[in-house]
Structure 1
Amino acid sequence: MPLESPSAAASARNVIHNIGYRHYDGPRLGRAYTRRSLFSQSLRGAYGLGRSAKSKVLPMTLFAVMCVPAVVIVAVATTTGADRLPVSYTRYAILLQAVIGLYLAAQAPQSVSRDLRFKSMPLYFSRPIERVDYVAAKYTAMASALFVLTAAPVLVLYVGALLIKADFLEQTKGMAQGLLGVALLSLLYAGIGLVIAALTPRRGFGVAAVIAVLTIPYGAVSAVQGIASVQGREEIVGWLGLFSPISLIDGLQTRFLGGTSSFPNGAEPTAAAGWLYLLVVLVLIAGCYALLMRRYRKAGL
């Protein structure tokens, strides 16, 4: 059998094969399209849409748990012929804060920790997308998911109030105040949850850390407020609410949105404390966004 010459073998190895590559001449959709796609994918993922059936169980269950009490309240009010609902629009989310915290603890790590754990960040940033686009999409998606969770029962209560023929203008104003309150809560909680979840690629650590940050300060603040109230120090009860995320929203709603306080003996923040509540909430939201930008400045490099 004749041996193949070295030059012929080299020539065979250097053949360029036509694999049908064609240059892309279609439209370049750019950063805006990528940002919208990432937002849509993240929002859908927060409720398990587009994922396995197992991924839908927890978020959909928590959504149902948020809405069922509102449906029961409406059913009882219409059956008994009540002229008003027993729960205000601004107070509903405060009463179900545990459900909101559990939802955030489950979905914030799912939104960002997976990208860190599976080292997907270089793939994101190899496309026409900047760090600010990634952070903005993830933040707005998480806040939107929380808003859907918290606004749905408010709308259920509003429909129920109209069914029992409560005053239309009063109920519409209360509903608007309730939606504004849960919007602020969603922005604040989304920032806190994403900052904590972005610190570790391990989802379990993120879940535990989010739950701890939301529950431990609230428990401590509630205990100290109770002690201060028993000792007759009502003047400091309102100021203590500055040290817990949910107490911040509670005090803010009480002062500016016509809400009823959950503080001991119904204590309310003073006018000065109310403005400080608003300032602290806005600073925390902006600070969480800045921390996320700092976290992803070198992520994936």
Structure 2
Amino acid sequence: MAPDTSTQIHNIGYRSYDGPRLGRAYARRSLFSQSLRGAYGLGRSAKSKILPMILFAVMCVPALILVAVAINIPGSTTLPIKYTTYAVTTQVIVYLFLASQAPQSVSRDLRFKTVPLYFSRPIERVDYVVAKYAAMASALFVLTATPLLIMWIGALLAKFDFADQTKGFGQGLVSVLLLSLLFSGLGLVMAALTPRRGFGVAAVIALLLIPYGAVTAVQGVAYSTGNTGPIEWMGLFSPITLIDGLQTAFLGAESTFPGGEGPSGGVGIVYLLVILGLIVGSYAALMARYRKAGL
């Protein structure tokens, strides 16, 4: 039989990429921006935008109401609440936002096993962890700082004292920045423990609510029995009371502890060290988690 001579090789134009190599920094920035946008549902389906946008609006509406009340009260010279009080008062909204968006940020990558695909590109484990951590902290900071900005602008429009309002606004920003770093780290660690988003949501809620309930109950019992010594130390065992105690000690905030007395300056240093330790520990835990998940 004669050989088939009809076979031909066609040049279909495949060629190697000869454009710019943007490298790790570009990949890290892209992962950060996409994760930050994703926290508010941007670039995702319309259904994904509903909850974060509702929570953002609910977070801002009370600030608008406070500004309207302050402006319309004759003789008012300050806002009804301090800037440092706002995030603590609206903590439930912060919990819901973190519990819904931290698993969205990391659990899906674990569930669908896309983490090794990230690491197959010019991006390393530290880039992934830093980008995810920074994006979640930035999303929380936007959520908690925007109402403070609304209050500050409203106070200036009402012609309240500029120096006093700016000082309070700055103290509030420091408080919510630490809150965002602390809560984001803890939330991402809990969410990264499981590829199941529902389990991640429950874990984040439990981490934030159970210690707070226990600490509040013990503080209440201690106050009612006249044994007020342990109250300031009990605040070390809950994320939100850590922030409350720190801003009471150093940022001129009004404490929500029983009796309204927060930790002293010396104990406040312990609060700061615990917060910084939890932030660093959360980062280390995420690095350890993705050492295995990246395989």
Distance 1:235 1:74 in 2: 38
For 1:53, which of 46, 65, 68 is the aligned residue? Answer: 46
Alignment of 1:158-173 (within 5 A): 158-173=152-167
Distance 2:129 2:86 in 1: 30
Using the TM superposition, give the Cα deviation of residue 127 of structure 1 relative to its aligned residue in structure 2, in angstroms.
Answer: 0.3
The answer to whether the Cα contact below 8 Å between 1:74 and 1:161 also exists between their aligned partners in 2 is yes
Using the TM superposition, give the Cα deviation of residue 16 of structure 1 relative to its aligned residue in structure 2, in angstroms.
Answer: 4.9
Q: 1:57 is matched by which residue type in structure 2?
A: I
Q: Deviation per CA, 1:163-222, whole angstroms, max 9, x where unpaired?
A: 222111111011000000000000000000000000100000000110010000000000
For 1:294, which of 269, 278, 288 is the aligned residue? Answer: 288
The answer to whether the Cα contact below 8 Å between 1:89 and 1:154 also exists between their aligned partners in 2 is yes
Structure 2 match to 1:107: 101
For 1:245, which of 233, 239, 243 is the aligned residue? Answer: 239
Larger radius of gyration: 1
RMSD: 1.3
For 1:96, which of 90, 99, 111 is the aligned residue? Answer: 90
For 1:255, which of 249, 252, 259 is the aligned residue? Answer: 249
Secondary structure of the residue that 2:287 maps to in structure 1?
A: helix
Q: 1:265 aligned to 2:259?
A: yes
Q: Deviation per CA, 1:95-129, whole angstroms, max 9, x where unpaired?
A: 00000000000000000001011111121011000
Using the TM superposition, give the Cα deviation of residue 160 of structure 1 relative to its aligned residue in structure 2, in angstroms.
Answer: 1.6
Using the TM superposition, give the Cα deviation of residue 267 of structure 1 relative to its aligned residue in structure 2, in angstroms.
Answer: 1.7
Alignment of 1:30-69 (within 5 A): 30-69=23-62
The answer to whether the Cα contact below 8 Å between 1:234 and 1:267 also exists between their aligned partners in 2 is no
Q: 2:42 is matched by which residue type in structure 1?
A: L
Using the TM superposition, give the Cα deviation of residue 157 of structure 1 relative to its aligned residue in structure 2, in angstroms.
Answer: 0.9
Distance 2:279 2:16 in 1: 44
Q: 1:20 aligned to 2:1?
A: no
The answer to whether the Cα contact below 8 Å between 1:84 and 1:164 also exists between their aligned partners in 2 is no
Using the TM superposition, give the Cα deviation of residue 19 of structure 1 relative to its aligned residue in structure 2, in angstroms.
Answer: 2.9
- Which ranges of structure 2 fall in alignment gaps of 5 or more residues? none
Q: 1:176 is matched by which residue type in structure 2?
A: G
Distance 1:297 1:120 in 2: 14
Give the TM-score normalised by structure 1. 0.95
Distance 2:253 2:78 in 1: 15
Give the TM-score normalised by structure 2. 0.97
Using the TM superposition, give the Cα deviation of residue 234 of structure 1 relative to its aligned residue in structure 2, in angstroms.
Answer: 1.5
Alignment of 1:146-225 (within 5 A): 146-225=140-219
Q: 1:127 aligned to 2:113?
A: no
Task: Write out the 4+ residue segments of structure 1 that deviate beyond 3 Å after TM superposition.
Answer: none
Q: Deviation per CA, 1:120-161, whole angstroms, max 9, x where unpaired?
A: 112101100000000000000000000000000011111121
Identity of aligned residues (%): 69
- Which ranges of structure 1 fall in alignment gaps of 5 or more residues? none
